[in-house]
């Protein structure tokens, strides 16, 4: 039985891992950022060695895509160099290392699903920092799994569904971008698949894509959620640049999950079904407040 370290313990993926581990009686530690800052290299090494950890799942990340353009050093410290350090400690301890990357390592010019073999070309500091994290981790420790995921949502997390719910409760008109297409992915599927891969008898390390089945624009996804909530206001089509000055998001970044589906003999559920489930779990009560001014954001 493994004793697992989940870094970034307060994040939405980390919380899903903790639920799963508790349910399955798997021993873990899940320190939050204050308890274990992954950029504190010595402390991280001491923590892993002193607690006799035998699997590290790195859920800590700097995910603020726009802010990263101004906080480049911080984005690289967390998403690249801290990941390299974790991989290095895992190598020293002869244990496996799991970390997560993003569809933002691609430039979005492709018209069909991105596979693990496609060339990366990140447009943003965030995407570059995650891409460097991938490269450094693989270089440092051959026993590394990198799972690229997109548009993540999980219970108790800060995510697009929660943002749409807030808009639904406070706005009579909501504008959402049509020019960003990918696939919402449930933390439940990410955890489930990660664990299945880690428990294969013959494990091939390297990069894998995990994404909800189907693809959608942010607008279509938002509209789907709003309709489920019974929203009666106006839903308007916008562009990414209506909400940010940075043109750094891939226009199309649907990840193909075929490699992992074939290995595990599974089909990842559709993003629609996972959102339905999420909204049901949440038992939402929608209030359509009239007279609220429209302030677009995303």
Ligand X SMILES: NC(=O)c1ccc[n+]([C@@H]2O[C@H](COP(=O)([O-])OP(=O)(O)OC[C@H]3O[C@@H](n4cnc5c(N)ncnc54)[C@H](OP(=O)(O)O)[C@@H]3O)[C@@H](O)[C@H]2O)c1
Catalytic residues, by residue number, are 126
Say whether residue 39 binds ligand X (CB under 6 A): yes
- What minimum distance in Å lies between the beta carbon of 15 and ligand X? 8
Kindly report the number of other CB atoms within 10 A of residue 140's CB atom: 19
What does the per-residue mask of binding to ligand X show for 53-92, with x meaning CB under 6 A?
------xxxxx--------------x--------------
Say whether residue 180 binds ligand X (CB under 6 A): no
Per the structure block, which two tokens stand in for 238? 């916008």
**Residues in contact with ligand X, total (CB under 6 A)?**
24
Considering the complex, state which of residue 61 and residue 136 has its C-beta at the smaller distance from ligand X.
Answer: 61
Tracing tokens 């870094």 back to the chain, one arrives at: 7
Say whether residue 161 binds ligand X (CB under 6 A): no
**DSSP character at residue 104:** G
| Dihedral angle, C-alpha 274, 220, 106, 125, nearest 10 ° | -100
- What minimum distance in Å lies between the beta carbon of 260 and ligand X? 15
Say whether residue 8 binds ligand X (CB under 6 A): yes
Binding residue (CB under 6 A) for ligand X from 21, 28, 81, 100 = 100
Kindly report the number of other CB atoms within 10 A of residue 49's CB atom: 12
Residue 160, CA atoms < 13 Å, CB-side half-sphere: 23
Residue 124: which residues within 8 A CB-CB, separation 6 or more?
65, 68, 69, 104, 246, 248, 249
Q: Which residues bind ligand X (CB under 6 A)?
A: 7-8, 10-13, 33, 37-39, 59-63, 78, 100, 102, 149-152, 157-158
């Amino acid at each position: 039985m493994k004793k697992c370290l989940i870094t970034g313990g307060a994040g939405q993926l980390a919380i899903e891992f903790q639920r799963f581990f508790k349910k399955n009686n798997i021993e873990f530690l899940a320190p939050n950022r204050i308890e274990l800052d992954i950029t504190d290299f010595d402390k991280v090494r001491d923590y892993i060695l002193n607690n006799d950890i035998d699997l590290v799942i790195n859920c800590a990340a700097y995910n603020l895509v726009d802010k990263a353009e101004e906080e480049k050093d911080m984005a690289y410290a967390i998403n690249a160099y801290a990941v390299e350090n974790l991989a290095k400690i895992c190598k020293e301890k002869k244990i496996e290392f799991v970390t997560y990357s993003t569809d933002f390592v691609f430039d979005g010019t492709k018209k069909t699903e991105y596979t693990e073999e496609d060339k990366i070309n990140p447009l943003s500091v965030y995407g570059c920092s995650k891409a460097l994290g991938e490269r450094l981790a693989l270089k440092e420790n051959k026993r590394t799994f990198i799972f690229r995921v997109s548009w993540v949502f999980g219970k108790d997390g800060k995510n697009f569904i929660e943002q749409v719910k807030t808009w639904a409760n406070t706005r009579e008109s909501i504008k959402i971008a049509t020019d960003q297409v990918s696939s919402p992915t449930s933390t439940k599927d990410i955890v489930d698949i990660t664990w299945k891969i880690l428990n294969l008898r013959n494990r091939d390390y390297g990069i894998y894509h995990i994404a909800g089945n189907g693809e959608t624009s942010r607008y279509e996804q938002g509209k789907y959620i709003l309709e489920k909530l019974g929203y009666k206001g106006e839903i308007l089509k916008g562009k990414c640049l209506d909400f940010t000055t940075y043109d750094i998001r891939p226009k199309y970044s649907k990840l193909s999950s075929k490699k992992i589906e074939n290995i595990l003999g599974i089909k990842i559920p559709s993003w629609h079904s996972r959102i339905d489930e999420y909204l049901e779990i949440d038992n939402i009560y929608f209030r359509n407040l009239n007279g609220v001014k429209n302030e677009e954001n995303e």
